[in-house]
């Protein structure tokens, strides 16, 4: 049952484009006790079908900028290969540490963005559009 809710929550966040895999890795490693390398590899399997679903939905809404998306996707493939090679050869403790640092940086950035939006007097919804 925990696996179902983990997938549902991660899939929902992933469908919004906010990085459901990050939440999935966190749940798998912290709450389910799965080793970091395995959690990250499991995230990669999770990513493919959830991404395809989100692509189909956003394609129908004509929200994809192909001129930006294609080059970013191609370079992302190369980056993913490099990242996977680095990750596989890294000690678990270091991998956890770097993942934690990544989460902290993302959190700080998001808080900063919200404060900046709030101070400018704009609605958070206007920021998205």
Give the number of domains in the chain: 1
- Averaged over 49-77, what is the pLDDT? 91
In a domain, 19, yes or no: no
In a domain, 113, yes or no: yes
In a domain, 118, yes or no: yes
pLDDT category, 129, cuts 50, 70, 90?
very low
114: containing domain? 92-129
pTM over 0.85: no
Q: Is 121 left (phi over 0), alpha (psi -120 to 50) or beta?
A: left
Mean pLDDT of the chain: 85
Burial class (CB in 10 A: 0-12, 13-18, 19+), 22: middle
In a domain, 54, yes or no: no
Burial class (CB in 10 A: 0-12, 13-18, 19+), 103: middle
In a domain, 100, yes or no: yes
In a domain, 108, yes or no: yes
In a domain, 119, yes or no: yes
In a domain, 52, yes or no: no
42: its two tokens: 């499991």
Lowest mean pLDDT among 8-17, 42-51, 98-107: 8-17
């Amino acid at each position: 049952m925990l696996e179902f809710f983990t997938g549902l929550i991660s899939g929902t966040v992933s469908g919004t484009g906010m990085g459901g895999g990050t939440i999935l890795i966190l749940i798998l490693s912290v709450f389910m006790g799965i080793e970091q390398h395995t959690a990250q590899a499991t995230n990669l399997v999770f990513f493919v079908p959830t991404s395809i679903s989100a692509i189909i939905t956003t394609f129908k809404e004509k929200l994809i900028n192909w001129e930006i998306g294609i080059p970013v996707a191609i370079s992302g493939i190369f980056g993913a290969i490099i990242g996977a090679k680095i990750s596989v050869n890294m000690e678990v403790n270091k991998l956890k540490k770097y993942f934690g640092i990544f989460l902290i940086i993302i959190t700080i950035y998001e808080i900063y963005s919200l404060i900046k939006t709030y101070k400018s007097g704009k609605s958070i919804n206007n920021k998205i559009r």
